[in-house]
Homo-oligomer: A and B are copies of this chain.
Amino acid sequence: MAIKLSEISTVEPKDAEKDRIKRRTEKYLVKIEDLQKKLYAEEKKALLVIFQGMDASGKDGAIKNIFRGLIPMGVNVHCFKKPTEEEFGHDFLWRVHHVVPRKGMIQIFNRSHYEDVLIQRVHKWIDEDTVKNRFEHINSFEKLLEDTGTRVLKFYLHISKEAQLERLLERKTNPEKHWKHNPDDMKERELWDDYMEAYEDCFKHCSEHATWHIIPADKNWYKEYLIAKYVCEALEEMDPQWPALVENEA
């Protein structure tokens, strides 16, 4: 899909009423909790939920608020940081493949293999041929997952440049957010337009086997509503079932 992010709203539609939307989110969350128990018990399929977005786009908050009601044995979060030396010594999908969910599990990626065609591309640490080659390998990798029973959901949390500035500044004024403050974030912000282009290319080249959902994310209540909706719908489609009772014969 060819997408211009600048043409997509970062806020909720005009007719969205906050209270009604929040009640709907609650309903989705209850359904997700029920479906997750079945997914875990059945052990036949898995769900991988990928979160991407600029700094302060609200990935952590989304993960916390959507998934905290789930049974912990059945859900994991993996944060992708700067690759270690061991990870750099392998192909870029090596560390990613290792942490995909086993059957029955929901795995959440806070950032992902897409960083290998985002930050690395924007900073020109890799050339454009490598970018194209990585798109191809990402598609093959996501097809492998889909073909073998893992549903892949990809969310891009879409915030405005202004909302980002506000949130980054809050990290300096609010003591509970100091730990999130990173002076480099302001430098990355200068590359905003390059990041937007790099994201648009991800949507264009890597939507073959798992679609991207672009989530207007300036308002947390609307962002959470949409994510809950898509996660719930994905689980409903996967349709996990309580396993039948196994009794030893007398």
A residues at B contact (CB < 8 Å): 43, 86, 89-94, 97-98, 100, 102-104, 133, 137, 140-141, 143-145, 147-150
Contact = CB atoms under 8 A, between A and B. Distances in A.
Instruction: Please list the 6 inter-chain residue pairs (A to B) with the smallest Cβ-Cβ separation, ordered nearest first.
Output: A89-B102, A140-B140, A91-B148, A97-B97, A89-B103, A137-B144
A50 B141 CA distance: 21
A86 B98 contact: no
A92 B102 CA distance: 11
A92 B182 CA distance: 40
Contacts of A91: 100, 144-145, 147-150
A91 B102 CA distance: 8
Given A86-B102, A147-B137, A94 B92 contact: no
A72 to B, nearest CB: 18
Nearest to A97: B97
Nearest to A85: B102
A149 B145 CA distance: 23
Contact of A92 (B89, B92, B148): B148
